Amino acid sequence: MKVHFLLLPLFLLSCTKKPESAEKPKQTTEEQCFILNEGINYEDVVKPAALPTHEEILKNLPSHIQMTDLTGFQKFNYDLTTTEELQATEKNYFDSPEYQKKVNEWIKALPEFNYLSIQENYALAKNKYGLWLIEKNKADFKPYFLGLTQNVYLRDFYGKDQKFLENNQFVMAGTLVDIQRLSRIPMLPKYEVIKDGVQFSIKLEDIKKDSDQDGFNDLFENFIGLNPNSADTDGDGIADFDDPNPKHKSGTEKFTAMYETLVDHPTTATRYSFVEILSNCDYFKAINPKNIKVLVYNTTEKAPIKDDVLDHFFPGKYSKMRTYKNYDEVYFTDFSDPSGDGTLSAEFVDGKWKFDKKYTVEFGM
């Protein structure tokens, strides 16, 4: 679900009236979290931003990514059948005894990654955000996110045992593309070539930079919207690396507990992966889950992660709550998640939140 939002300041100019504030009044928590009026809520309608042009994509390519033209190269061609075959082959490889034996010590240290290649004391690995470089120093394994946007299409993304380091740089051939979803439902994307036959390179010193020494390299913190210059982005006294909700301070309100119960669930622990949620509600932002790590974004927030890889992991999105006549204690919310769209209801019964979740559209994933 590719989401583009644009928040524009409103300037009112008049010869007879005093200039008004350039910014809209800050909404109260009630206004952020509940539908308070009947009918169409025009204040919730946000115009999508215009899609970037090829020139803008090229101009705004992250500065740490360097491009060099290749003289001999395989022309870009995206084929769904071939891609699905590569994905299936890769999955079988990751499940194979050969793979488990080959990268056994890396898996033991960091099981949340899949490993593509090993070169010297480095491994090229991937998770849902993309490619990582993992450095082995004796018994210590340190992951560094490469910060490659989805506009960087790497020819060997599904390859293995390839060389990826040269002259203290990460190096890989590919194509700079414009990728667009033809629907917000996950499906075959549309690719347009911006620049073909490119060698992408990133200096190791840029990859390893961790300005606040919090355990996440700067490229990753910039990518997911954390502060690379502060080890505690939300100022709650918990370092980002250990904080289950590093963007926002936690709270104990009744509706915060509701959202917490809704999204928290037992799962395999991860250090370098989060559950992404889109919501404007302060109650939601203040959750303190016990089993998962979350990143809660405003729907109007210009977070790098939303432009780069939103389609790849399809975060949960929740509307404002509303109540209906004769159901004053039942709170209804529209939602969208990787499985589809629907409506859920929440009711506080005997000191606990109880939910009823129904899908109206299923994506078949």
**Which residues contact residue 339 at a Cβ distance below 8 angstroms, ignoring those fewer than 6 apart?**
359, 362, 363, 365
Side-chain half-sphere CA neighbours of 352 within 13 A: 3
Tell me which of 11 and 228 has the higher pLDDT.
228
Convert the pLDDT of each residue in 258-284 to its tens digit. 999 999 999 998 999 999 888 889 999
Give CA–CA dist 46/184, Å, rounded.
Answer: 16
Provide the β-strand partners of residue 137.
140
What is the per-residue pLDDT for 170? 98
Q: Is pLDDT of 113 > 60? A: yes
Residue type, 320: K
Which residues lie closer than 8 Å to 206 by C-beta, 6 or more apart?
64, 219
How far apart CA 340 and CA 126 sit, in angstroms, is: 26
pLDDT band at 193 (very low <50, low <70, confident <90, very high): very high
Per-residue confidence (pLDDT) for residue 156, from 0 to 100: 86
The domain limits of the chain are: 1-8+28-50+244-365, 54-208
Joined together, the tokens standing for residue 182 give 């033809």
Q: Which residue has the tokens 């290749």?
A: 70
Q: What is the pLDDT of residues 4-30, one digit of tens each?
A: 333 323 222 223 334 444 556 778 988
> Is beta strand 322-324 parallel, antiparallel or unpaired with respect to 327-337?
antiparallel
CA-to-CA separations, 311 to 129, 179, 188, 293, in angstroms, rounded = 11, 10, 11, 19
Determine the Cα–Cα distance for residues 138 and 136; give it in Å rounded to an integer: 6
Longest C-alpha distance within the chain, in Å?
A: 78
Rg of the chain over Cα atoms, rounded to whole angstroms, equals 23
Q: Do 197 and 14 form a contact (C-beta atoms < 8 A)?
A: no
Q: Quick one: average pLDDT of 308-331?
A: 76
Q: Please check the confidence at residue 137 and state whether its pLDDT lies above 90.
A: yes
Do residues 200 and 173 make contact, with C-beta atoms less than 8 angstroms apart? yes
Give the confidence band of 243 by pLDDT, cuts at 50, 70, 90.
very high
**pLDDT score of 316:** 79
CA atoms within 13 A on the CB side of 210: 13
Q: What pTM value is reported for the model?
A: 0.86
- Provide the residue count of the chain: 365
Top pLDDT among 50 and 288 is at: 288
Residue bearing the bigger pLDDT, 236 or 190? 236
Three-state secondary structure readout of the chain: CCCCCCCCCCCCCCCCCCCCCCCCCCCCHHHHHECCCCCCCHHHCCCCCCCCCHHHHHHCCCCCCEEEECCCCCCCCCCHHHHHHHHHHHHHHHCCHHHHHHCHHHHHHCCCCEEEEEECCEEEEEECCEEEEEEEECCEEEEEECCCCCCEEECCCCCCCCCCECCCEEEEEEEEEEEEECCCCCCCEEEEEEEEEEEEEEEHHHHHCCCCCCCCCHHHHHHHCCCCCCCCCCCCCCCCCCCCCCCCCCCCCHHHHHHHHHHCCCCCCCCCCCEEEECCCHHHHCCCCCCCCEEEECCCCCCHHHHHCHHHHCCEEECCEEEECCEEEEEEEEEEECCEEEEEEEEEECCEEEEEEEEEEECCC
* Structure-model confidence comparison of residues 162 and 234, the more confident one: 234
The residues that bridge with 114 in the sheet, in sequence order, are 126
Kindly state the tokens that stand for 342: 């629907």
Q: Which of 181, 184, 164 is nearest to 172 (CA)?
A: 164
